[in-house]
Amino acid sequence: MREPHVLVRCRQSSVQRRPNDGFGHLEELPGVTPEDHDVRVEDVHQVGDAHAEPATNLVQSPAYHRIAGSVCCHDLGHGRTGCLAGGPQNSVLADLGLPAAAAPAPAHPAARVDAHVTDLAGVPAGSGERSPAQDDPAAEAHLTRQVALPHDWLTWRTAGAAGIDTLTTDRGEASGTGYWSPLTGGYRRDLLVRALGKDVVLPTVLGPADSPGTSTSGAVLGAGTGDNMAAALGLGAAPGTVIVSIGTSGVVCAVSAGAIADQSGVVAGFADATGRFLPLVATLNAAKVLDATARMLGVDHDTLSDLALSAPAGAGGLVYIPYLEGERTPNLPTATGALHGMRLANSTAAHVARAAVEGVLCGLRAGLEALVAQGVEVGRVVLIGGGARMPAVRASAPAILGYPVSVPAPGEYVADGAARQAAWVLSGAVEPPDWELAATEHYDADPLGWIVDRYAEAHEMVLHRGRAVGAEGVVGTGP
């Protein structure tokens, strides 16, 4: 075998012509419209055909292509989560994608799952996944023969679309469905029966280094995984590593040796891409809050960072509750943002910028505390995502999060993880291969717990106001 190497093909390559926010425009797929998607099944084959004996690894992640040695990794989508409900002649009856904004829980009993299911399935019913019964529990349910993720469907198609019993997935993706339990390593078919009224065909769950076979062009296929799982693999995360991602949404996750089931529903107990687990907290409001604040102040991101750094820690008592699009964690779908503690002295652009940075970090600190409450050990904190590029965020993160922070050089960590997994498939080794990690900067500061305490006080006021407004039957800031 040739010495492994990595070749990156960017979004402007001949295979991937523009960024893709979904699972791709697959023209052969009945019922799916091309909402600016342009990854096609034939594109995957073209990547495979362009390299001698490649292996294709399908991962739901930013649209990049990487080849590790003779391994071709094709990454799909951008953090999109969802299921495809399949009917007769392998048609798609419904795309059960995860909405980008917070939404109230479904009202129909068939789409609800009792709280005790969290103990069994690991991922709480309120984690954002949509069940096949949510939109209309009766529509098309009687026609559904199989349920799979977009990643699973494309792997199956790339392998030649044999019988539906050859569908495959991986532990990471399966753990996000709500009907596969990381605790038991098996499907909760009773939940699907409850939602659909019958059992259906589900993908075989592969191990992280297993292959589902080969493509029609002879490429060895990898199991693939979800975007957060691939990022953890690409960053070399091990038990004790906590990853804080400040992207459009915020994610706090950690590699864990044991499965976690949080009855509160705050921590989703996902599986990772190494055979371990990835407890995770997701928030809706992260880098988009910084974007909105920059627009509000009429400045660019560099100026926003400079403004924030020019203001004192704690923003002179100004507290920014960043629920600009509702919130998923905590589950406050109708919440709105708020500024608390305004005075003449802190009513400046610099103080608002500082409060925005601290508000986003305080929300992520709550996620970190939720992981620790579930027994997650924090050995190191890795800060990634677009928001992590802002100097004010990097400088403030250790003080707010309460731990020293490492910030790797900007990169496509999900694609790195996809390439590493694909190389693992070819190696046949028990553990993933050693992988060169990005250069890292380290930040430290004395913890400023009083900022977190002041944020908690303001947050309680938002909840109290929401309860009061809700009692009057008016949509406001609260559940």
Give me the active site residues, please.
227
H-run or E-run covering 128: none
Handedness of CA 46, 36, 324, 396 (dihedral sign): positive
Contact 25, 3 (CB under 8 A): no
213 — alpha (psi -120 to 50), left (phi > 0) or beta?
A: left
Give the residue among 134, 161, 170 at the shortest CA–CA distance from 60. 170
Contacts made by residues 266-269, CB under 8 angstroms, sequence distance 24+ = 266/124, 266/329, 266/330, 266/367, 266/370, 267/370, 267/371, 267/374, 268/122, 268/123, 268/124, 268/127, 268/176, 269/122, 269/123, 269/175, 269/182, 269/183
129 Cβ contact partners less than 8 Å away, ≥ 6 residues apart? 81, 98, 123, 176, 177, 178
Contact 91, 161 (CB under 8 A): no
Strand partners, 85: 94, 147
Give the residue among 204, 168, 475 at the shortest CA–CA distance from 336. 475
Contact 253, 232 (CB under 8 A): yes
Q: Which parts of 359-419 are beta strand (E)?
A: 380-384, 405-408
Cα distance between residue 425 and residue 420, in whole Å: 9
Q: What is the 8-class DSSP label of residue 275?
A: S
Give the residue among 47, 6, 4, 41 at the shortest CA–CA distance from 24. 41
454 — alpha (psi -120 to 50), left (phi > 0) or beta?
A: alpha
Task: Give the 3-state secondary structure of residue 55.
Answer: strand
H-run or E-run covering 396: helix 391-401
Contact 337, 320 (CB under 8 A): yes
Contact 251, 244 (CB under 8 A): yes
H-run or E-run covering 318: none
Q: How many C-beta atoms surround the C-beta of residue 337 within 10 A? A: 20
